[in-house]
Structure formats: structure tokens, C-alpha cells
Amino acid sequence: MRTKLVAGNWKMNGGLAQNKALLEGVMAGVAGFNGMQAAVCVPFPYLAQAQQALAGSKVAWGAQNLSQHDKGAYTGEVAASMLLDFGCRYVIVGHSERRSLYGESDELVAAKYEAAQKAGLTPILCVGETLEEREGNITEQVVGRQLDAVIARSGVASLAKAVVAYEPVWAIGTGKTATPEQAQAVHAFIRGKIASLDKGVADGLVIQYGGSMKASNAAELLSQPDIDGGLIGGASLVVEDFVAICQAAQR
Ligand code: PEP
């Protein structure tokens, strides 16, 4: 049985005072929830704050990016070992904003995924197609290629210690959500592709949906057989909304 994972991606939002209220609200909101895991992926400067606020609670925390390198002359970059110093469990890799705004290639994403795992972090590997790609009927090709880059570098067995987030780019921050059927179809494709290589890994793999998931659509999306949680952008910044999504994810 896979445990649903609802992870907030705060992106470049927040501030010390705001974060305090959000972290405390989420922690209190999910305290009584069972059969699901909640997490928040915060901006780098607030990792210490998240660690202090959330240590010993049911809420895990993580980062939104990392360097593919271990250490050295890489000004402005953050290594996996540094994330571990602040108690991170998760790190998002290959978010579509990193791919499109910062030119991260499939190969770079695969290198970051490997760096995260080598340090003992759980990568949340984001995959997903643009609207143009969906309309061109190449969604499976694109998502398959993004997965293949990681499998080629780290092997299919590495997915036993990873999370995949299917995030159609056209649904991120747009208010447009994939229908439960559209999302389920791609999730089933992802699980099937991995099952063709290793059924055990595929069966255990948590595949989140991301793209305008909110309190009003979470229950339906999360009731699909291959949707094992959510990666939540906008709605993760509002305590009540994020907690409501976590509530919908309970077993
Ligand atoms: C995201 O950034 O991963 C995301 C899913 O954003 P939103 O929920 O705002 O669409």
C-alpha cells in the first residue's frame, strides 16, 4: 500500500513572519491525520526555520533544487550535503520552472537526481508536457524521455527511493487542472513504463499529481488508482487550503 504524499512547493514566496504562521498552521492542521505524509519544500534561506519549527512533527521538509556537484567553486549553488545539514528529507528536481526558466536539460536533472540520492535525500522528480506537446499528442513521448534520462543514469531500482511528480506544464499556476481521467492516464503510463522494467519498483512508487491542485479538486484527483499524492504550489501557501488537501489524502 502506497502512502500518499502531499508536498508544498512554496517556490520563491515567504518571509520569516509569514512562514512561522504557515508552518505552525500546517503542523497543527495535520497533527491528527493518519495514513498520509505531509511535507513542505521551502526556499533555501528558510530551511533552518522549517527544521526548527517542524522537528519532531508529522510534517517533513525539503528544498526545491540542488546542485549536481558535491562541493567547490560553484558560486550561488547549494549541495545535497548542505540540505542534509538542515534535516531535509526531500528535494524537488526538474520542476518545469527550472527546466524552462533556467534551461535545465533532462541530463542535468538526472545528475541532480543522482546527487540527491547519493546524499540520502529523496528526490521528487518532476515530469510533464507543455500544452503544445499535449496538443501534438506527444505527452507519453515527453514524459517517457524525461524518465529515461534518470533511468539511464541511476537505474530503474533507484526509483524505489524516489518520488515522481507528474506535472502537466499547462496546469501549473494557471488554475487549469488536468481532469482526473487525464491525470490518471499519464500516471498509469508512468507506472506501466516502470513496471515493464521492474514491477516491484513500479508498485511501490509514489506518483504525485501537480498542477492547480486545490481543496475543491483534491479528493477526486486523489481517488484515482495511480495518483498517490500532490505537489502543491499556490494552495500550499494558505494553511486551510493545504490542510484540506492533506485531509483528502488520508487513507
Ligand atoms: C507546482 O509549482 O509544482 C505547482 C503544482 O503549482 P500550482 O499548484 O500553483 O499549479
- Mind listing the pLDDT tens digit for each residue in 81-116? 999 999 999 999 999 999 999 999 999 999 999 999
Distance between first and last Cα of the chain? 10
Q: What is the pLDDT of residue 85?
A: 98
Phi, psi of 32 (to 5 degrees): -95, 5
Q: Which of 79, 35, 78, 37 is nearest to 54 (CA)?
A: 37
Q: Helices 180-195 and 215-222: crossing angle, nearest 10°?
A: 40
CA-CA distance, 26 to 19, in Å (whole number)? 10
CA of residue 72 to ligand 1 center, whole Å = 32
DSSP state of 2: P
DSSP state of 78: -
CA-CA distance, 140 to 169, in Å (whole number)? 14
pTM of the complete model = 0.98
- Residues of the chain below pLDDT 50: none
Residue nearest atom 8 in ligand 1 by C-alpha distance: 233
For the chain, what are the domain ranges?
A: 4-250
What does CATH list as the number for 4-250?
3.20.20.70
Residue 31 burial by Cβ neighbours in a 10 Å radius (0-12, 13-18, 19+): exposed
Residue nearest atom 1 in ligand 1 by C-alpha distance: 233
Using most ligand atoms within 8 A of CB, pick from 92, 213, 227 the residue to mutate for ligand 1.
213
Q: What is the pLDDT of residue 30?
A: 98
Q: Which of 96, 4, 90, 12 is nearest to 54 (CA)?
A: 90
Task: Please give the positions annotated as active site.
Answer: 95, 167
